[in-house]
């Protein structure tokens, strides 16, 4: 499923609970979508960069003993507002599409 | 863990990023990419895949490096309005073209000289390479612009400097014949100056001792201005620096200054419409004028002697010595001017390429 335009919204959603590094964000998107949302995971980093530049998320390098350092991302208040905007737009979209499907299902059943 | 494929992938991604992304962002992205791929490899291995297969599967899931690099470049540009960036890049490109053209066509031989001959071919070749290939040329590409600077720069240096300059600049790359002509020309010019200017310079020195000049002039005083002749296509005039500052010339016959009140006036200009030059002039101003004239003459003589020395040195140089100096000239010009120019050109070309690529994608051509 292609969702390039929504990848940034998904990242914000995943980060709304925890600060995470890139691989973990990717893993959560996969698992929380029941493997429905598949994409080149490399696309995540341009999206993260864009979100960081826009001030929706912030990043910090975490030092790890015996392991490579990780860049951990967390959502900012501005990012939460952006996430709410996405949620609201998505709810409207789902409601609209759902309305059409429901209406045709009723007509088909008659 | 042996990360051969992963290492290869990170290097490939770096190649696609290398010219357009700031170094800190590049390092950060490559570091994160390596971490991400390593984690994917561990994940696949825990599912029973062997090392090599899990590396390939990780790369497959991550995506093609050129695609990731392109998206990252797009995210860099997304901060600013793309139309603005495109316009800015084009404006920069045009400005640089105008500046370079201006430098080449400059009447000042020191400005349009050797370095420009190296900058232009190097910047052009690097810029074009980057624009067409989408990546900065590797070190071996330095051979091409250097060759171009030798092939284009040398003849250009010959024709642009050899026949217009007599300052001795680039004398080691000028033809012997043109050099000899310049040496003879400059010597003759210096002899002429000695013959005609020295008496005037002597009179300026004498004027500086004149009590009127020293103590100042009163209204109604007459004072003879020592001056030297200057000829041009319109006839023979007498010039003085203060008149030149007033953007005019004084008649050959008008070296008698009449003070009227606080101003001075001189006679009409010969061969032109009659006019009277007026302006504030005091003994102090005359004194200043004479001092300036003597200084200017002294500086001019020093420059002439230095230029003559360089021209004569070039003339006496053997072909081998000339070749050595030329090689040094090309090398230093390349390092000092060519490489920065190459970097700027490829950077600009990258920006333009990215802007154009974005535009074509947006209108659905690519």
CA distances from B280 to B264, B283, B351 (A): 6, 10, 57
- CA nearest to A56, candidates A81, A83, A25, A79: A79
Residue B209 confidence (pLDDT) above 60: yes
Question: B33 in contact with A at a CB cutoff of 8 Å?
Answer: yes
Mean pLDDT throughout B63-70?
A: 86
Task: Output the six-digit token pair for B23.
Answer: 């170094």
Structure-model confidence comparison of residues B70 and B361, the more confident one: B70
B29, B39, B40 member nearest A45 (Cβ)? B29
pLDDT at B295: 87
In three-state form (DSSP H/G/I as H, E/B as E, the rest C), the secondary structure along chain A is CCCHHHHHHHHHHHHCCCCEEHHHHHHHHHHHCCCCCCCCHHHHHHHHHHHHHHCCEEEEEECCCCCCCEEEEEECHHHHHHHHHHHHHHHHHHHHHHHHHHHHHHHHHC
- Residues in Cβ contact with B167 at an 8 Å cutoff, skipping those fewer than 6 apart: B109, B110, B303, B307, B310
The pLDDT, as a whole number, for residue A33 is 82
Instruction: State pLDDT tens for residues B178-208.
Output: 788 888 888 888 887 777 777 777 777 777 7
The residue ranges of chain A whose pLDDT is under 70 are: 1-5, 105-110
**In 3-state terms, what secondary structure has residue B119?**
helix
Q: Is residue A92 less than 8 Å (CB to CB) from chain B? A: no
B237 vs B298, residue with greater confidence: B298
Share of chain B above pLDDT 90, in %: 2
Interchain CB distance below 8 Å, B68 and A26: no
pLDDT of residue B95: 62
Average pLDDT, chain B: 67
Q: Read off the pLDDT of each residue in B263-284 and give the average, rounded to a whole number.
A: 42
Phi-psi region of A72 (alpha: psi -120 to 50; beta: other; left: phi over 0): beta
Which element (helix H / strand E) includes B250?
none
User: A16 is in which domain, residue-wise?
Assistant: 4-109
| Res A55: pLDDT | 87
Residue B39 has pLDDT above 80, yes or no: yes
Interface contact flag, B71 A46, Cβ < 8 Å: yes
Specify the pLDDT at position A61: 85
Q: What is the CATH number of the domain that holds A36?
A: 1.10.10.10
| pLDDT surpasses 50 at B358 | no
Strand partners, A35: none
Q: Calculate the alpha carbon distances from A17 to A14, A33, A63, A71 in Å.
A: 7, 16, 21, 17
- Residue B250: which pLDDT band, with cuts at 50, 70 and 90? very low
B67 in contact with A, Cβ within 8 Å: yes
* Secondary structure tally for chain B: helices H, strands E: 14, 6
pLDDT value at position B239? 36
Q: What pLDDT score does B17 carry? A: 78
Nearest CA in chain B to A23: B36
Q: In this predicted structure, what is the pLDDT of residue A5?
A: 52
Per the CB < 8 A criterion, the answer to whether B124 and B152 are in contact is no
The neighbour count for residue B255, using CB atoms within 10 Å, is 16
Is B141 near chain A, with CB under 8 Å?
no
The interface predicted TM-score of the complex, written ipTM, equals 0.85
Looking at per-residue pLDDT, the higher value among B237 and B167 belongs to: B167
Nearest-Cα distance to chain A for B19, in Å, is 17
Number of domains in chain A: 1
> Which residues have C-beta within 8 Å of that of residue B125, sequence separation ≥ 6?
B137, B141, B144, B145, B148
User: Cβ of A53 and B75 within 8 Å?
Assistant: yes
Which H or E run includes B233?
Answer: none
Query: How close is the nearest chain B Cα to the Cα of A94, in Å?
Result: 27
- CA A22 to chain B, closest CA, distance in angstroms equals 7
Q: Which residues 58-87 of A have a C-beta within 8 angstroms of B?
A: 68-71
């Amino acid at each position: 499923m292609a969702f390039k335009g929504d990848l940034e919204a998904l990242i914000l959603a995943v980060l709304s609970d925890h600060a995470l590094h890139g691989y973990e964000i990717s893993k959560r998107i996969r698992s929380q979508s029941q493997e429905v949302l598949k994409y080149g995971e490399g696309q995540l980093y341009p999206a993260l960069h864009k979100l960081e530049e826009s001030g929706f998320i912030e990043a910090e390098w975490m030092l790890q003993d015996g392991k490579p350092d990780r860049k951990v991302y967390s959502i900012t208040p501005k990012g939460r507002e952006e996430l709410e905007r996405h949620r609201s737009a998505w709810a409207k979209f789902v409601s609209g599409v759902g309305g059409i499907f429901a209406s045709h299902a009723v007509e088909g059943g008659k | 863990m042996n990360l051969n494929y992963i290492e290869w992938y990170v290097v490939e991604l770096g190649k696609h990023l290398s010219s357009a992304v700031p170094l800190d962002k590049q390092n950060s992205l490559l570091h994160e990419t390596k971490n991400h791929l390593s984690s994917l490899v561990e994940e696949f291995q825990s599912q029973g895949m062997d090392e090599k297969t899990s590396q390939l599967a990780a790369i497959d899931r991550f995506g093609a490096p050129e695609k990731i690099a392109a998206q990252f470049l797009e995210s860099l540009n997304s901060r600013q309005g793309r139309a603005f960036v495109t316009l800015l890049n084009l404006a920069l490109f045009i400005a640089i073209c105008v500046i370079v053209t201006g430098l080449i066509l400059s009447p000042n031989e020191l400005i349009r000289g050797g370095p420009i001959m190296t900058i232009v071919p190097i910047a052009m070749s690097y810029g074009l390479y980057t624009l067409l290939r989408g990546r900065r040329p590797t070190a071996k590409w330095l051979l091409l612009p250097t060759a171009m600077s030798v092939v284009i720069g040398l003849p250009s240096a010959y024709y642009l400097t050899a026949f217009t300059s007599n300052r001795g600049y680039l004398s080691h790359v000028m033809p012997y014949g043109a050099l000899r002509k310049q040496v003879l020309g400059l010597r003759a010019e210096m002899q002429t100056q000695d013959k005609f200017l020295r008496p005037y310079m002597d009179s300026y020195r004498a004027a500086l001792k004149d009590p009127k000049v020293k103590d100042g002039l009163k209204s109604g005083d007459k004072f003879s201005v020592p001056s030297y002749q200057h000829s041009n296509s319109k006839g023979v005039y007498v010039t003085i620096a203060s008149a030149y500052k007033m953007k005019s010339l004084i008649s050959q016959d008008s070296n008698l200054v009449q003070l009227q009140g606080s101003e001075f006036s001189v006679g009409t200009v010969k061969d032109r419409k009659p006019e009277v030059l007026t302006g504030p002039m005091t003994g102090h101003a005359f004194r200043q004028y004479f001092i300036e004239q003597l200084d200017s003459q002294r500086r001019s003589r020093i420059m002439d002697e230095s230029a003559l020395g360089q021209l004569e040195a070039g003339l006496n140089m053997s072909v081998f010595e000339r070749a050595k100096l030329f090689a040094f000239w090309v090398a230093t010009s390349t390092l000092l001017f060519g490489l920065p120019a190459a970097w700027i050109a490829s950077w600009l070309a990258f920006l333009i390429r990215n802007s154009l690529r974005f535009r074509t994608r947006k209108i659905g051509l690519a």
